[in-house]
A and B are shown apart, each in its own frame.
Chain A
Amino acid sequence: MESKKYQKIVDKHQPKEPKTFNLLAAFITGGIIGLLANLLIDVYTYYFHIPTKTAGIYMLITFIFLACLLTAIGVFNNLVKKGKMGFIIPITGFAHSMQSAILDYKKEGPIYGFGSNVFKLAGSVILYGVVSAYIFAMIRYLIFGG
């Protein structure tokens, strides 16, 4: 009973986040990143004469590089506060999670700091991605034959 009352008081005094604003911010930042991705692919294919599929990979590397650099400088966290999930759902979020994990544990040394913590946050993405992809690929291989 007491904890319920306490929870009510806490809820009342917690600052309410503007939900519609958050949605709009996520939509616009995510949209701009998607648009930039498409633009980069076109630039790479047009000016450097790279085939479209390879240009897509170069585009991903560019975004990963930028996300790592911005996180290392300390700018990325402020961007996430403004753009919300618009920066997390694109591949920039994946790179950001690795870079911030490795930086946070820097003082614990190269093995137990760097090495064991790189995948601290990105690990769940890889684990569930691989497990689900394995199961789905098996389903498709058995039903459609690859």
Chain B
Amino acid sequence: MTYIYSFLFCGLLCLIAQAIIDNTKLSAGHVTSIFVVAGAFLDIFSIYDKIIEFVGGGALIPITSFGHSLIHGALERTTDSGFLGIAMGMFDLTATGITSAIVFSFIFALIFRPKN
């Protein structure tokens, strides 16, 4: 059942993004930034956590989950470090994604040549 929810959730997010791009002057950069902010916003009341529980992998792959991971890592640290934990834990959960993206893109940039 989570497979169907994954398909529907991720597909619906992409459909909304496409609708925004087709009907307004916003670019892909605008839409991804808006989605990240939306993902972080949904975590104020732990809504995105419930969506992940319900949907599974389909909720982890869209860029909204990046915003969710940022705020989630920040809040996890506040339990033992207090207010400072927000800054300390900001990249706790997203670090693997960002690090691997940097490393892979560097290695591939050394190997491959740009097309036109």
Count residues of B near A (Cβ-Cβ below 8 Å).
68
Contacts of A89 in B (CB 8 A): 10, 13-14, 17, 31-32, 35, 62-63
A contacts, CB < 8 Å to B: 17, 19, 22-23, 25-35, 37-42, 56-57, 59-61, 63-65, 68-69, 71-74, 77, 84-86, 88-91, 93-95, 98-99, 102-104, 106, 114, 118, 121-122, 124-126, 128-130, 132-134, 136-141, 146
Could you tell me the distance between the alpha carbons of A1 and B105 in the complex, rounded to whole angstroms?
49
Residues A72 and B57 in contact, CB atoms below 8 Å apart: no
Contacts of A137 in B (CB 8 A): 71, 74-75, 78, 86
The listed residue (B9, B67, B78, B102) touching A98 by CB distance below 8 A is B102
Residues A73 and B112 in contact, CB atoms below 8 Å apart: yes
Could you tell me the distance between the alpha carbons of A122 and B55 in the complex, rounded to whole angstroms?
26
Residues A74 and B108 in contact, CB atoms below 8 Å apart: no
* Contact A138 to B58, CB < 8 A, known contacts A72-B109, A89-B32: no
Contacts of B65 in A (CB 8 A): 91
Name which residue of chain B comes closest to A40, CB basis: B57
Residues A133 and B6 in contact, CB atoms below 8 Å apart: no
Name which residue of chain A comes closest to B64, CB basis: A89
Contacts of A146 in B (CB 8 A): 75, 78-79, 85
Residues A31 and B63 in contact, CB atoms below 8 Å apart: no
Residues A39 and B3 in contact, CB atoms below 8 Å apart: yes
- Known: A37-B10, A60-B96, A85-B21; 10 extra A-B contacts, CB below 8 A, are A25-B18, A30-B13, A38-B57, A63-B61, A64-B97, A68-B104, A72-B109, A118-B105, A136-B43, A137-B86
